[in-house]
C-alpha cells in the first residue's frame, strides 16, 4: 500500500501548495526575483469568477509533490484550440520516478480527448535534462521562433 | 473624408475575411503548407459556444486590411492573466501607414484596462522588420527560452 501515486485536479484549498511549488520552480529556474504575486491574487485568478487555468497535482502517499498548470491557446493554422503548458514541476527529491511523465501524459490525453491541435510549452535553454525528456516524447523545438514580451511598465 | 482608418472587434460575418488574412500571413511566413483548417472549423472555434479568442480588425475606407487575434495567457510569476498575441497581420500594400502599431496599441490598452501582467507573442527570427518594430515599442526577446511543440500525431 506504499508508494501510491495519484494525479488529480486542484481545488481552491490547494492554493497554498500551488504557490509553494510555483516559488520552488522559480528558484530552480534562477528566476525567483521575478515572482510578484500573493496567495490571494493567485486564488482570485485561478479560482475566481473568470477562471481559465487548469491545474493538475501529483500526489505521493497523500503529499503534493508536483504540478502542471495549463490553459487553452489557439492556432490560426489549425483553426482550433491547443494546450499551453505554463508550468510543469516535480519536487527535486521526487524526480526520476516518472511523475513528470505522468503529468505530461495526462495533459496529452486531455488534448486528445478534446480534439485539440497541439500541446506547447517553453523551456530554458540550459535545462538539458528537460529538453532531453521533451525530445524523447516526440516534441520539437521551434528553433526559428523567438518569444517577445512587453512588460506592464511599458503599457 | 478619405483615408479613414478604423479598428473594430470582429463578428461572425467577418470569418471569410479573417480566414483570408490567416492564409496571407501563412504565405508571408512561408508556412502555407501548415494551414489545416476550414472556414467552418474556424467559425466554430472563434464564434461557437466556447469562444475565447478575441479579434481586432483594421479597416481602411471600409475594407479589412489587417487583423490581430489574441487570447488570455497566465503567468504563475505574476499570478495574473496576460495577453498572448497569436497573429498580427497587415496586408503588404497597406504597410508603413502605422496600422500594425494601431492594432498593437489597442491590444496594449486592453491589457492595461484589464490590469493584465504582460503581452507576449512570437516572431520568426528572419523577420527583421517586425523585430525592429517590436524592440522600438519596448518589447524584449526571451532569447534564453525555446518553445516546444507536440503535434497531434504524437498524442
What band does A2 get if pLDDT is binned at 50, 70 and 90?
Answer: low
- pLDDT, one tens digit per residue, over B21-48 is 999 999 999 999 999 999 999 999 999 9
Rounded to an integer, the average pLDDT of B50-79 is 96
Q: Which residue of A has its CA nearest to B27?
A: A77
What band does B1 get if pLDDT is binned at 50, 70 and 90?
Answer: very low
Q: What is the interface size between A and B, counted as CB pairs within 8 Å?
A: 203
Rounded to an integer, the average pLDDT of A62-82 is 97
pLDDT at B4: 84
Q: How far lies A130's CA from each of A1, A25, A60, A134, B86, in Å?
A: 30, 13, 21, 6, 25
Alpha-carbon distance of A48 to B134, in angstroms, equals: 33
Q: Do B125 and A117 lie within an 8 Å CB cutoff?
A: no
Alpha-carbon distance of B155 to A117, in angstroms, equals: 10
Q: Do B76 and A84 lie within an 8 Å CB cutoff?
A: no
CB contacts of B35 in chain A (<8 Å) are 77
Whether A143 and A108 have beta carbons less than 8 Å apart is answered as no
Which residues does residue B7 pair with via DSSP β-bridges, in sequence order?
A: B58
Q: Provide the shortest C-alpha distance from residue A21 to chain B (in Å).
A: 10
A84 is catalytic: no
CB-nearest to B147 from A69, A80, A147 is A147
Q: Provide the shortest C-alpha distance from residue A119 to chain B (in Å).
A: 5
CB contacts of B122 in chain A (<8 Å) are 142, 145-148
Domain range summary for chain A, segments of one domain joined by +: 5-154
The residues of B annotated as belonging to the active site are 134
Q: Do B37 and A123 lie within an 8 Å CB cutoff?
A: no
ipTM beyond cut 0.90: yes
Q: Per CATH, which fold does A5-154 belong to?
A: Aminopeptidase (3.40.630)
- pLDDT, one tens digit per residue, over A88-145 is 999 999 999 999 999 999 999 999 999 999 999 999 999 999 999 999 999 999 999 9
Q: What's the pTM value of the predicted model, to 2 decimals? A: 0.95
Starting at the earlier edge strand, list the strands of the sheet with A54-60.
A5-9, A54-60, A63-75, A80-90, A118-124, B145-151, A140-141
Alpha-carbon distance of A146 to A74, in angstroms, equals: 18
CB contacts of B25 in chain A (<8 Å) are 76
Q: Is the pLDDT of residue A80 over 60?
A: yes
Whether B104 and B58 have beta carbons less than 8 Å apart is answered as no
Q: Provide the shortest C-alpha distance from residue A93 to chain B (in Å).
A: 22
Phi, psi of A82 (to 5 degrees): -140, -175
CB contacts of A77 in chain B (<8 Å) are 22, 26, 31, 34-37
Cell of A24: 520552488
Q: Do B42 and A152 lie within an 8 Å CB cutoff?
A: no
Amino acid at each position: 500500500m506504499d508508494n501510491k501515486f495519484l494525479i488529480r485536479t486542484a481545488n481552491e484549498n490547494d492554493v497554498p501548495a500551488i504557490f509553494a511549488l510555483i516559488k520552488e520552480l522559480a528558484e530552480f529556474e534562477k528566476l525567483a526575483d521575478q515572482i510578484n504575486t500573493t496567495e490571494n491574487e493567485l486564488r482570485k485568478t485561478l479560482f475566481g469568477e473568470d477562471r481559465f487555468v487548469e491545474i493538475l497535482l501529483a500526489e505521493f502517499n497523500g503529499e503534493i509533490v508536483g504540478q502542471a498548470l495549463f490553459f487553452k491557446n489557439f492556432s490560426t493554422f489549425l483553426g482550433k484550440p491547443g494546450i499551453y503548458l505554463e508550468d510543469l514541476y516535480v519536487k527535486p527529491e521526487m524526480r526520476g520516478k516518472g511523475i513528470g511523465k505522468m503529468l505530461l501524459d495526462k495533459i496529452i490525453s486531455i488534448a486528445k480527448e478534446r480534439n485539440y491541435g497541439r500541446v506547447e510549452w517553453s523551456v530554458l535553454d540550459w535545462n538539458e535534462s528537460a529538453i532531453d525528456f521533451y525530445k524523447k516524447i516526440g516534441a520539437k523545438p521551434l528553433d526559428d521562433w523567438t518569444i517577445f514580451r512587453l512588460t506592464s511598465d511599458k503599457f
